Amino acid sequence: MKVLIVDDDALIREGLKILLEIEDDFQVVGTASNGHEALEMCRKEKPELVLMDIRMPVMDGVLGTKLIKSQFREIKIVILTTFKDDEYIKEALKSGAEGYILKNQPADSIIESLRTVGKGNIVLEREVANTLSSMLKESKKATPERLNISPREFEILKLVGEGLSNREIAESLNISEGTTRNYVTGLLEKLGFRDRTQLAIFFIRNCE
C-alpha cells in the first residue's frame, strides 16, 4: 500500500516513515508538513492512503482531507492526532476520512488500523468512537422511520457508525456474525451505499 505521511513535526514524520517501511505491505511514497503540500503530493505520487495530522500551519488536516477527497475519491485518509476534539472528529469524517486514531496508540495498533482501512473498513480509535457515540445519542434527526428501515436495522447502522466490526456488533446484540453481515448487506442495498465506510459516514452526517 502506497502511503503519504502528513505532519508538521519532522520527527513524527520520520518516525512514522521508519515504522511503516519496516512492514512488507507498506511503501511510503512521500511526506508533507501541511494539507496544501499533501494535496500536491497526492497529485504527484498518487498514494493509496494518507496518514493525516489535524492541526498544522498553512492548511490543517480537515481542509486538506476535504480537498484531497474532492479530487481523489479513491485515496483513503486516516486522521492521526493527539487531539480528541469533537468538532475536529465530526468535520474530518464529514470531509470523507476513513479513520480517526490517536498518536498515543502502540505502533502495532496504528499499523493494524491502516491495514483495516486498506481493506475498505472505517477505523475509529475507541475513545473517538465513544465521543461519536455520545454525539449520536444526543441526535434525534436520523430515525428508522425517516430512513425506511426497521428498528433492528437502525441499531446495526448506529453500531457501524460507532466503528464496530461485524464481530463486535454480533457480540453486542447477541446475534451471529453471519446475521450481522446480512443486516449490513441489506442496509447497503436499502440506503444505496457501496460499503460500510459510506454507511458510517452517512449516519454521522445525519446525526449532527
Residue 70 to residue 81: CA distance in whole angstroms: 22
Q: What is the mean pLDDT of the chain?
A: 87
Asked whether residue 19 is domain-assigned, the answer is: yes
Do both 74 and 103 map to the same domain? yes
Last residue of a domain, one of 73, 96, 126: 126
Quote the number of domains for the chain: 2
Picking from 70, 94, 126, the residue at the C-terminal end of a domain is 126
Which pLDDT does position 208 carry in this prediction? 46
Count other C-beta atoms under 10 Å from residue 201's C-beta.
19
Is there a domain that residue 97 lies in?
yes
Residue 19's pLDDT band (cuts 50, 70, 90): very high
Q: Count other C-beta atoms under 10 Å from residue 63's C-beta.
A: 17
Residue with cell 492512503: 49
- Do 71 and 101 lie in one domain? The reply is yes
**Residue pLDDT, tens place only, 163-186:** 899 999 999 999 999 999 999 999
pLDDT at 207: 53
Q: What is the pLDDT of residues 103-114, one digit of tens each?
A: 888 889 899 999
Do residues 180 and 170 lie in contact, with contact meaning Cβ atoms separated by under 8 Å? yes
Q: Could you report how far apart the first and last alpha carbons of the chain are, in Å?
A: 33
Report if residue 156 sits inside a domain: yes
Any domain includes 132: no
**Are residues 160 and 106 part of one domain?**
no
Does 30 reside within a domain? yes
Same domain, 7 and 99: yes
Better pLDDT: 22 or 120: 22
- CATH (domain of 190): 1.10.10.10
Tell me what percent of the chain is helix, strand and coil, each rounded to the nearest 5. Answer: 55, 15, 30
From 100, 126, 152, give the residue that closes a domain: 126
Q: What range does the domain containing 196 cover?
A: 139-205
